[in-house]
Amino acid sequence: MIEPKKDIERLKNSKEFKDWKENHKESYLSDFFCVLDKESSEDNIWQIDYYNPEQDTITSFELPADKRKSPKLKEENSKIFKKEGDTVQKLSLSELEWSDENVIEVAKESLKEQFPGEAPMKTILILQHSRDYDKPIWNLTFMTSALNMFNARIDAKKGKIIDSSLKSAMSLKKEILPGTDEKPKAS
């Protein structure tokens, strides 16, 4: 489990973060990210990203869920994939009231209710400020046992699902790789 309000302080109090922040004062918190695929939640590692608007780059820190382990710098000044002219939204944790565990439970209930034959196998969680909804949201994706992807956007303050959808993992391949829906040609 991650407690963003507490865990961001854990990151900010680390020597590695303080040293980095000294030279990157303009950078701001943009998101928390984790692929929850470990047996124990304490084994999961959260990635916390800071956006530098002057350089249009992201710096990532790793924050182990295990509070005994120290945060560390993962990647510095990485180029990001976004539309030209878009800016990365600043994430404020002041309105955050729902934890990752609460959000996962709400999403599991919704998945079971909407798609009874689907069972979550792997979870991808992102806490970010949504430009579309102009508020912090949890963006959750379950990879299901039927190889589908259930996505839910959940209000980080109220815990209500804003929207959700289920897509085949194969349809995602077609979105990412144009032309993959064509059948192979016989030679």
Q: Which is higher by pLDDT, 60 or 81?
A: 60
Instruction: State yes or no: pLDDT of 91 exceeds 50.
Output: yes
Q: Which is higher by pLDDT, 185 or 103?
A: 103
pLDDT mean over 130-150: 94
pLDDT mean over 93-118: 93
Q: How far apart are CA 29 and CA 59, in angstroms?
A: 10
Q: How far apart are CA 82 and CA 38, in angstroms?
A: 29
- This prediction's pTM: 0.86
Q: How far apart are CA 62 and CA 140, in angstroms?
A: 19
Listing from the earlier edge strand, what are the strands of the sheet with 72-79?
72-79, 57-64, 45-52, 28-36, 120-130, 135-144, 148-155, 161-168
In 3-115, beta strands by DSSP E: 28-36, 45-52, 57-64, 72-79
pLDDT band of 38, cuts 50, 70, 90: low
Burial class (CB in 10 A: 0-12, 13-18, 19+), 84: exposed
Of 44-48, 123-127, 172-176, which one has max mean pLDDT? 123-127
Instruction: State yes or no: pLDDT of 123 exceeds 90.
Output: yes
Q: Which of 108-117, 141-150, 166-175 has the lowest mean pLDDT?
A: 166-175
